[in-house]
Amino acid sequence: MSDNITNILVVGVGGQGVMTATEILAEAAIALGHDVKKTEVAGMAQRGGVVSSHLRFGPKVLSPQIAPGSAHILLAFEAAEGMRWRHMMRPDALALINTGNLAPPVVELGLFEYPADPVGEMRGSGARVYSFDASAIANGLGDIRLGNTVMLGAIADHLPFSADVLEQCVLKRFARKGEKVIEMNRQAFAAGRAAAAEAQKTQDARAEALA
């Protein structure tokens, strides 16, 4: 697989806005002149199922699918979903994880258990893991639906292009929704950036302590 392709895997649960977030990332990559392919298999995902969305960009993208072990960034909208897709990451990958949990009915019914420490399991792979509660941040800003803008803010400083490009693409989405919605998304984006930066500090301190 070519080294000049960036592979970003965005994962979560149907209804969280995973596919929209990936589309916005794709638009940012296009704005910078990259070739782009985006794919997901999410036929029944609007029913609360697993969603994984693949984004690949670079000079020329062939297969739309990210192969296991080759994702540069894993953007996980839900903690256990991040864990589910850990094997897709390169060893030097960055994982950005929303620690907010969404347990499915099979867990509520007691048929399966929610993992005790999904973020810890992610760290076990050796990848850099920045975790933060994007759901709480979104709720704090007044609307859980801001969660995907928070997640996009979190990834913004870790892309091979500037955060401003991505922010413009996010805000363009809401251009017709009125100034209030735009402002809320601006705040959510900034809060996501700050949360990732804070999580990075924690992770760096942890890495240092282990070293």
Partner 1 sequence: MAAVMPAPAQSRLLMSGNEAVARAVWESGVKVAAAYPGTPATEMLEVISTYPDLYSEWSVNEKTSLEVAFGAAMAGSRSFCAMKHVGLNVASDALMTLTLTGVAGGLVIAVADDVGLSSSQNEQDSRFWGRFAHVPILEPADSQEAYEYTRLAYELSERFQTPVILRMTTRICHVKALVTVGERAPHVAPGFKKEAARWVMVPGAAARRIPLMFQREIDLRAEAETSALNFVDAGSDRRVGFVASGPAYMHVKEAFPDAPVLKLGFSFPAPFEKIRAFAATVEHCVVVEEVEPLLETELKAQGIKVVGKDILPRSGELSPPVLKPAVLRLLGEEVPEPEKKARPVAPLPVFPRPPTMCVACPHLGVYYTLSQLRNITISGDIGCYTLGFGHPWNALDACISMGASMGMALGLDKGRGESDKDKKIVAVIGDSTFLHMGMQGLLDIVYNRGNVTVLLLDNRAVGMTGGQDNPGNGRDIHGEEAPRVDFEKLVKALGVKDERVHVVNPYELPTLFKTLRDETKVPEPSVIITNQPCVLIQDYHKLKPFTVIDDKCTGCGNCLDTGCPAIHVTKRDSVVKPSGKTVDLAFVRIESSVCTGCGLCVQPCAPDAIVHADKVIQIKPLQRH
Residues contributing to the site for partner 1 (CB under 8 A): 1-2, 13-14, 23, 26-27, 30, 35-50, 61-65, 67-70, 80-81, 83-84, 86-87, 90-91, 103-115, 121, 125, 144
CB of residue 95 to partner 1, shortest distance in Å: 12
Nearer to partner 1, 45 or 193 (CB): 45
**Is residue 80 within 8 Å of 114, Cβ to Cβ?**
yes
CB of residue 40 to partner 1, shortest distance in Å: 7
Q: SS3 letters for the chain?
A: CCCCCEEEEEEEECCCCHHHHHHHHHHHHHHCCCEEEEEECCCCHHHCCEEEEEEEEECCCCCCCCCCCCEEEEEECCHHHHHHCHHHEEEEEEEEEECCCCCCHHHHCCCCCCCCCHHHHHHCCCCEEEEECHHHHHHHCCCHHHHHHHHHHHHHHHCCCCHHHHHHHHHHHCHHHCHHHHHHHHHHHHHHHHHHHHHHHHHHHHHHHHC
CB of residue 65 to partner 1, shortest distance in Å: 5
Nearer to partner 1, 112 or 202 (CB): 112
Nearer to partner 1, 30 or 207 (CB): 30
Nearer to partner 1, 4 or 179 (CB): 4
Among 155, 157, 2, which residue's Cα sits nearest to residue 66?
2
CB of residue 10 to partner 1, shortest distance in Å: 13
**Is residue 134 within 8 Å of 144, Cβ to Cβ?**
no
CB of residue 110 to partner 1, shortest distance in Å: 7
CB of residue 198 to partner 1, shortest distance in Å: 26
Q: Say how far residue 56 (Cα) sits from the centre of its chain.
A: 14
